[in-house]
Amino acid sequence: MFLLKAWRSTAFGAYGYLNFTKNGFVEHSKRFNPEDMQIQIDGKNCVVTGANSGIGYATAKGLASQGATVYMVCRNKERGEEALSKIQSSTGNKNLHLEVCDLSSVQEIKSFASRFASKDVPVHVLVNNAGLLENKRITTPEGYELNFAVNVLGTYTMTELMLPLLEKAAPDAKVITVSSGGMYTSPLTTDLQFSEERFNGVEQYARNKRLQVALTEKWAEKYKNKGIGFYSMHPGWAETPGVANSLPSFNQSFSGKLRTSEEGADTIVWLALQPKEKLVEGAFYFDRAEAPKHLKFAGTSKSHSLIDSITGTLHSVASLDSSNPPLS
């Protein structure tokens, strides 16, 4: 097990160094088609979580530039208002709305979802971007380990509760979940809240991000007849407040080599703009192309068979009602 873990980290480090940095983006962008980004999406409603900072901010701005109506879901009203007014003045788009919701709380997500449902607007794009890497074990007031609460339970609850509004936008609807290349280092595990005595935030984050990729695969399969496309992606390594706070040494040693938030958000905006026929349901994307979900010899692929039991657990943890049956 130790050797396998060491191999995964080494393979991830080498693959990441070659592909996830700014140089990787510059190299990969040589095959980008500029016309892909010239699509206007006026009148489409996009919900972006964690839209006040980093990659979420760049995503909201990118979508607003293409004419979308953007609902920015942020946990802090002042930070959200500041971000919204910056995007409004730089894009000239007046169709921006702030929604305040702490995604570490299932109860808050449920209140948000019922408030939002009363607007009765179709949701064309849901971007599950909000996320964090917390190095210490912190338990939320609802009793969940914090990384799990936001990255997994928040993403799961939000997506499940937005399904009726996504269906209203079918067959145009998309759910884009922002995972991380860090997920390459971890198989899927049923230990959702990291029960080991020595907490390791980096490992927990990788597990959460692996779960987002497996969930996306499952959603695509389960809801294939609903006219909603499910995609996961990873942004590479981008310089953001999140990276500076959670990984200060990494941030320092890669100073000048990291992507901008806009480069990190590029594939999210690209996925939102492309016709669905061009995209692969349930796939994992990076730099505007489908990417592998597993690194060679990492022994992570068979673990995805655990997803049915995990979604059953998530469904009961989030106490979603019987009109919304579990995924399995």
Ligand X SMILES: NC(=O)c1ccc[n+]([C@@H]2O[C@H](COP(=O)([O-])OP(=O)(O)OC[C@H]3O[C@@H](n4cnc5c(N)ncnc54)[C@H](OP(=O)(O)O)[C@@H]3O)[C@@H](O)[C@H]2O)c1
Q: Are 319 and 106 in contact (CB under 8 A)?
A: yes
The distance of closest approach from Cβ of residue 103 to ligand X in the complex, given in angstroms and rounded to an integer, is 4
Where do we find the tokens 């905006």? Answer: 269
Nearest-Å Rg of the Cα atoms of the chain is 18
Measured CA to CA, the distance from residue 165 to residue 120 in angstroms comes to: 7
Q: Which of 57, 71, 156, 205 is catalytic?
A: 205
The distance of closest approach from Cβ of residue 187 to ligand X in the complex, given in angstroms and rounded to an integer, is 18
Positions of E strands within 7-119: 45-49, 69-74, 96-100
Q: Calculate ∠ Cα 96-97-100, nearest 5°.
A: 145
DSSP state of 296: T
Q: Which residue, 152 or 163, is less far from ligand X as judged by CB?
A: 152
The distance of closest approach from Cβ of residue 2 to ligand X in the complex, given in angstroms and rounded to an integer, is 25
Tokens of 289: 């192309």
Residue type at 267 in one-letter notation: T
Q: Which residue, 161 or 169, is less far from ligand X as judged by CB?
A: 161
Helix (H) or strand (E) holding 284: strand 284-286
Q: Which residue, 66 or 151, is less far from ligand X as judged by CB?
A: 151
Q: Is residue 223 flagged as an active site residue?
A: no
Q: Which residue, 65 or 140, is less far from ligand X as judged by CB?
A: 140
Q: Which residue, 50 or 187, is less far from ligand X as judged by CB?
A: 50
The distance of closest approach from Cβ of residue 65 to ligand X in the complex, given in angstroms and rounded to an integer, is 18
The distance of closest approach from Cβ of residue 257 to ligand X in the complex, given in angstroms and rounded to an integer, is 11
Judged by DSSP in three states, 259 sits in strand
Q: Which residue, 169 or 180, is less far from ligand X as judged by CB?
A: 180
Q: How far is CA 259 from CA 202, 241, 248, 266, in A?
A: 20, 13, 16, 11
The distance of closest approach from Cβ of residue 23 to ligand X in the complex, given in angstroms and rounded to an integer, is 14
Binding site for ligand X (CB under 6 A): 50, 52-56, 74-76, 79, 102-104, 129-132, 150, 178, 180, 234-235, 237-238, 240-243, 264
Measured CA to CA, the distance from residue 62 to residue 254 in angstroms comes to: 25
Q: How far is CA 228 from CA 49, 134, 174, 289, 322, in A?
A: 18, 31, 5, 19, 21
Tokens of 139: 């338990």
284-286 and 289-290 strand pairing: antiparallel
Where do we find the tokens 């097990």? Answer: 1
Q: Which residues are catalytic, by number? A: 205
